[in-house]
Structure 1
Amino acid sequence: MKTPAFRLSALALALATQGALAYEYNVDLKNTGTTTAYDVAVVLSGNETLASTFNGYQGGPLDGYFTDVQESHPASGDTIIHWMNIDGMDSPIPPGRTIHIGWSTQDCDSTVKDMYWTTKSHGRLANSVLHNVTHNLTYVSGRLPIIDFTNVMEAQVSIRLRDVRFAVVDAPLKLEALSSVNAALMKSLRPVKEGVFVLAPGERVSFTVPVALKEGQSLITVYSTGDALQGAASAVNQGADSLHFMQRPVGGGGHGNGC
């Protein structure tokens, strides 16, 4: 399940493609709290089947490779992914440090219920909530694709999102290429929704992507969330400024939810 670290010297191959996977997500996470973290965990709704995880980079501005990544299924029936032990030495994630993780699933649904920093003993860092939303792509042949964002976080917090952008690629990118260190990808992004908007708990918003897609192509959506956008309310949260990368393929006969 673990994906080997992606060395920055290989970024010339950042747009190399891979076999299609149904749902792929990566994120840059900058610790904006006042407390040092060591690990990070995400809770996905239901019993997910993970295809792979991306466990970090070795070197560069997002340096930090998690050597112990565990998947668990508690009594709630959900799926927890826990990235632990950076560089095999429990390297800390102090305020201001940015790391990068990701995952892919074999279906077209990956609902994010919770995300948080954890301590050196792997428990949840007090007051830690990393703001995230659930993303979906709806594609019907002959129509422009629609992306949805839904706030289903268990913490029941309003989430501010900023600058939703997109890119279309002819075949899916590798997980390690879904990152801010991929200069070619970042340069290719086009706007869907500029500026800041807010999703209240349970709220969903939809945007039309202004480009036609072909079967076999993939749509990459990039957006920001985080404490820097939350204002005074962020003072009590051990959170993160996050840059999210979501990749969804167009397939299944050119209709449906993109898979």
Structure 2
Amino acid sequence: MTGEQTTRPTALVTGASAGIGREFAHQLAARRHDLVLVARDRGRLERLAAELTRRYAVSAEVLVADLSDRSALQTVADRVADRDRPVDVLVNNAGYGQRRSFLRNDLAVEEAAFDVLTRAVLVLSHAAGVAMRERGRGHIVNVSSVAGFIASGSYSAAKAWVTTFSEGLATELAGSGVTVTALCPGFTNTEFQQRAGISKPGPEFLWLDPQKLVADCLHDVDRGRVVSVPGLQYKAVVGLLRVVPRSLVRGRARLVRR
């Protein structure tokens, strides 16, 4: 459906059709935000839009886009930058994991993932940062991962970039009324692992509930926190990873995905 102009704030969520992105859409709608829902699957997006409209009485706009396609990404960036229909909250959530290690994977597959995990975050954050700074308000949430604190393949490297990029952008926007938060979850009970073809690793206590994860993140956004690590277990893990020698991190690195 097409979003109509209202006095409510608007949030744009990428990767909104499932998992953490879907939960962000629900919780932002519950906060009385209109939504712009971005993902590749039109059917899932339209069902979600109808559900949000019915349940929360908000407007939900569907924007179908494969963010690895530069033309499609630019369409989303143009929507973020639209002065007549301002986006007050941007959630860069789209992403996926790789079933194979870097050197065993096709380069084209790696490049597509790189575009979604990093280039899309760069392009959309630029569009949002410029537009929001002009208005003097707004929030950017970039979904990173605890994987960014370890050394395990291209996914880990991409998420390390997202976290560091978000910290730098938050510094650039300090005092402007615009906040930037990097969300760094660990294992989360969504369909992410299944879609990546990865068996569910680790003990149960390591797994996060997406509803609480998103609620904790939005609380951190409200407080202006730059790096949001949900769950006491992952706060402890990240704290340890920040101080142990990198040689030890590399030697013990295990694949950790959100």
TM-score, normalising length: structure 1: 0.33
TM-score, normalising length: structure 2: 0.33
**Between structures 1 and 2, the one with greater helix share:** 2
